[in-house]
Every structure is written in C-alpha cells, then in structure tokens.
Amino acid sequence: MRTFAKIALIVGLTATGYYVYTGLTGTDEFAWLNGWLIAPVLLLTVVPILFSLSAFRRSFGESMAALRGDVPAEFAGAPIGMGTVVSTARTGLSINDQPQLDIVLDVDTPEGRGFRAVARHLVDLTELGAVQPGAVLPVRYLPDGRVVLAVDAPAYELQAALDRIQLAKGHITPKQLHIAENGLDAQAVVLAMNPTGEVRAGRAVIVLTLRVTRPDGTRFDVTQEKTVPPGALGQVQPGAVVRAKYLPYDESEVTLLVNP
C-alpha cells in the first residue's frame, strides 16, 4: 500500500551530479539547481557547498517517499520545477482511507520563473507530515500553470532541474555547477569556521578553512567564504568531516556535500 516514489535530489545533498536547496553554498554567487542537489547534484558564493542528491532526498526526502501515484498523460515529459508547500486542504475525497489533498505550492522553474499552483494528490494519513508547509517537492508543470507532483521522475532529471533552478536563482555560478558535475570526490575536515555577522538571503555568511584529502591521500588547505542555511551550520563546525568535490586542475574552489 505504501510503495513510495523516491527522489534522488537534491534544494545535489547531498547528493552526485550537482548537490541541493537545498544547502551550504559558496558565495560566488553553493546556492539545485545542488543541485542541489545536491548534488549533486547541491553550494553558493566565493566557493560553493553543494547538496548531493542524497542530501536533497534526506532534507525533504521523506516528503516524496510518502507520495506515490501516476502522472496524468498530459504531464508526461513536462519540465520539472521545485515547489515549496504553502498550505494543504482536503478535497473531501478519500480512497482506501487516503485523503485527497489540494497542495498549494510556490514553484520555481529552471528558467528562473516563479508562480503559485495547486497540486491535487492522494496522501496516506500516516504521511501527512510529508506535505507540511515548508516542504519542498518536485513537480511537473504545464505552460498554463497546472502542476502535478513529479512522482515519476528519475533521479538524474530531478537533479538536473534542481541544479538549473539554483543557477537561475543566482545561488550558484556556472563554474560551481561544473565542479559539482565534473569534480573529483574527496573528503574535507573543517579546520575553522568564523561567522562574519552578515546575513544574506536568509543565510549566514561564514568563512571556512578546510583541509581537503585528495583521492591519492595528499592534502591541501583552502579558505572560502560561504553562505550557509541555518540548518546546515551544525555540519560545518571545526572538526567536522564532510564530503567534497573539486577540480584537479583548480583547487581554489571546493564544494561540500552536506544535508540542507
């Protein structure tokens, strides 16, 4: 009864192609589309932190895991956007004790457009928390503004959409997207984290000093200014070990794959 559709996102953490919404970002302006995700996928300012797709999924992962169903034929192949839940209301219809909800969403598209829409979907009673206000869900949308939840979308399509949305919103740069998609996987230890006292677009601006371990075991240090979502600050405290990506021919920028 609960065969849940999954999104493999990122909001890019995570997660990895370009890693998500979803997340730490370097202020070259790491902050989809992470993507977001993630990802990985997921990133904003001088040097980005990306959300991998897995991070994207973990941040609001259970949201899509709780949702299932078929996408109407007219939405097959429609572009994907990311919708932030504003509110929900029951339509009065229930099927097998699952209420149908009208889910009001603020949708962001890869083209940089934003609009409000309503997605109608059946949700299990035990999973109503998946569509609480603030949850981020991928949707397929039509030119007339109609949307459905993108429960049919494969991971790579979700990640690509998340990455492009983040790019369109100015949360990541083309270079940061390139790092997320083509960089080498590595690990980084946070040596220092210093708040600047600045808040930018709801994110704290911090200066991170990282020691990155290359795949061959050698290391290099880098200091970068980043904008960090409030929920990710605990993951970049001194001593924390995080996943990272970097370009072997340019170690001046590093993306961190963290949970948003």
What band does 258 get if pLDDT is binned at 50, 70 and 90? Answer: low
d(CA 29, CA 231): 20
Minimal CA–CA distance to 183: which of 19, 46, 44? 19
pLDDT higher than 90, residue 140: yes
Which tokens is 89 given? 């209301």
d(CA 1, CA 90): 20
User: pLDDT tens across 150-207, in order?
Assistant: 988 888 888 788 888 878 877 777 887 888 888 898 999 999 999 999 887 677 888 9
- DSSP letter, residue 45: B
User: pLDDT tens across 214-250, in order?
Assistant: 989 999 999 988 877 777 788 889 999 988 889 999 9
* Cβ atoms of residues 190 and 209 within 8 Å: yes
Residues contacting 184, CB < 8 A, separation 6+: 214, 215, 245, 246, 247, 248
Residue 130's pLDDT is what?
82
* Cβ atoms of residues 224 and 28 within 8 Å: no
User: pLDDT tens across 46-105, in order?
Assistant: 333 333 333 344 444 434 444 555 688 899 889 999 999 999 999 989 888 888 899 999
Minimal CA–CA distance to 18: which of 63, 50, 57, 56? 50
Q: Mean pLDDT, to the nearest integer, of 118-145?
A: 88
pLDDT higher than 70, residue 44: no
* C-alpha distances out from residue 113 to 1, 166, 188, 207, Å: 36, 12, 35, 31
Residues contacting 176, CB < 8 A, separation 6+: 26, 28, 30, 43, 44, 48, 50, 253, 255
